[in-house]
Chain A
Amino acid sequence: MPTGFTGRDIISIKELNKKEILLVLNQAEKLKRAPEPELLKGCVMGSCFFEPSTRTRLSFETAMQRLGGSVIGFADPGVSSATKGETLYDSIRIIGQYADVITMRHPLDGAARRAAEATEKPIINGGDGANQHPTQTLLDLFTIRECQKRLTNLSIAMVGDLKYGRTVHSLAQALIHFQPTFYFVAPDFLQMPDHLLEQLREAGIKYSLKKTIEEVVNKVDILYLTRIQKERFSDISEYEKAKNLYVLDVPLLAKAKPNLRVLHPLPRVNELSPAVDSTPYAYYFEQAANGLYVRQALLGLVLGKL
């Protein structure tokens, strides 16, 4: 049965409906249980990283290789033609002649959409500036479902820089399909943007705005932490005050429900104490590892092999 994914670009999580999201998650789950080392044999993935992101790049490249495919591309814009003034459009058009699928990351918003216009080959967006990073959202959803055994009706706290954080915006939007209750934990000036809250209200999603982790830790199934960047604070004394409110340490987890799991897109700085790693609540390393299966599922789907 056709999946509707063959040849399709994966640019923005907004373009996937609930059924399609679940299809990707189900395929990822299958691949996690039963690897398919021959699935993409003979296929070539172009890996185009116009901005360094070792983690995302290695995850995509490993995904392709573990499905039997091969990888061409570049990881450093210094060695690509971008520095010689070639447009993104031309670069992608050329690489599209060699590769069956292109995964890419680019520092500018909208770059993936533009790239998709340059080639008939499917583009998988691995992050375009501050805009979209759909594979991160899918691996977050996959991980939430894996550790809670469901996606619907969960209580989810998001903590940290909620104003500028692309990861939490996309995840919150994607979760609209699954009737969550949200707690947004951040200082006022880093709270979720109004347009996003408006979208949640329109969709009838319950949410509340909180100032500390302590207020929510006994209520939630998922505690999704993100990094608070010092650069966001205009007043350094404000940063000093704020930073400890958003640091998760073991004592803070004393009132947690037994099924609570802590997620974090990584890399972490100091908002997530390494002491949490050895508690049963830690699930962020599993989360990172799940990126592989979700990316495998997408590669298999857009190449028409799943």
Chain B
Amino acid sequence: MRAYKVFAIKDGTVIDHIPNGKGLRLIAALKLNDMNTVLTMGTHFTSKRLGRKDIVKIEHKELSPSEVNQVCLFAPTATINIIREHKVVKKFTVAVPPVFTELVICPNSRCITNHERTPSTFYPLADGERLRLRCHYCEKIFSHEEVSLR
């Protein structure tokens, strides 16, 4: 019965292995609510890898890696399955995207992005294990832990 805890979908995208409790954040970050399609989310699923996990299923919509990679800041373990006719036709894991748009809040209170409506833009700086982020506007560099997300 495992497959039916969240009902199976015929076509669309299943995002699995989302860290427990981050499903809603993922829905918000990817603006899935705006897609006007059936969306199901399950939370506290048992996972061998994560202990507990969330799952999100989006019907009739195939997400691309570049869209989903935005979530790597809070859901780096997520895996994406593209479903056609009940079959997984593509499977990929989340990677660091070239840019984060509209997701990160700049911790610099003197940054223009905190004073007038500006689409937040951050570039990841690959630096071994540490993920650091540079604000496109104020040019300041922050560690992954320093930033908060919209």
Q: Is the CB of A109 within 8 A of B112?
A: yes
- A108-B139 contact in complex given A89-B116, A114-B118, C-beta closer than 8 Å: no
Does A53 make an interface contact (CB < 8 A)? no
Q: Is the CB of B116 within 8 A of A109?
A: no
Q: A interface, by DSSP: helix, strand, loop or mixed? A: mixed
Does A58 make an interface contact (CB < 8 A)? no
B139: which of A12, A88, A106 is its contact (CB, 8 Å)?
A12
Q: Is the CB of B110 within 8 A of A130?
A: yes
Task: Tell me the nearest residue of chain A to B118, going by C-beta.
Answer: A114
Q: Is the CB of B137 within 8 A of A113?
A: yes
Task: Tell me the nearest residue of chain B to A88, going by C-beta.
Answer: B116
Task: Tell me the nearest residue of chain A to B106, going by C-beta.
Answer: A110
- For chain B residues 114-148, which have a beta carbon within 8 Å of chain A? 115-118, 135-141
Residues of A in contact (CB 8 Å), total 19
CA distance A131 to B137 in the complex (A): 9
Q: Is the CB of A87 within 8 A of B141?
A: no
- For chain A residues 80-136, which have a beta carbon within 8 Å of chain B? 87-89, 106-111, 113-114, 128-132
Report A136 CB to chain B, min CB distance, Å.
16
B135: which of A14, A110, A111, A132 is its contact (CB, 8 Å)?
A110
Interface footprint category on B? 10 to 19
Q: Mark A7-25, 1 if CB is under 8 A from B, else 0.
A: 0000010100000000000
Does A241 make an interface contact (CB < 8 A)? no
Residues of chain A whose beta carbon lies under 8 Å from any beta carbon of chain B: 12, 14, 87-89, 106-111, 113-114, 128-132, 195
Write 29 A-B pairs (CB below 8 A) sorted by A numbering.
Answer: A12-B139, A87-B116, A87-B117, A106-B112, A107-B110, A108-B111, A108-B112, A108-B115, A109-B108, A109-B110, A109-B111, A109-B112, A109-B137, A109-B138, A109-B140, A110-B112, A110-B135, A110-B136, A110-B137, A110-B138, A110-B139, A113-B112, A113-B137, A114-B116, A114-B118, A131-B139, A131-B140, A132-B139, A195-B141
Known: A109-B139, A109-B140, A132-B139. 6 other contacts (CB 8 A): A109-B108, A109-B111, A114-B118, A130-B110, A131-B138, A131-B139
What are the 6 closest A-B residue pairs judged by CB atoms, nearest first?
Answer: A110-B137, A109-B138, A110-B138, A110-B112, A108-B112, A87-B116
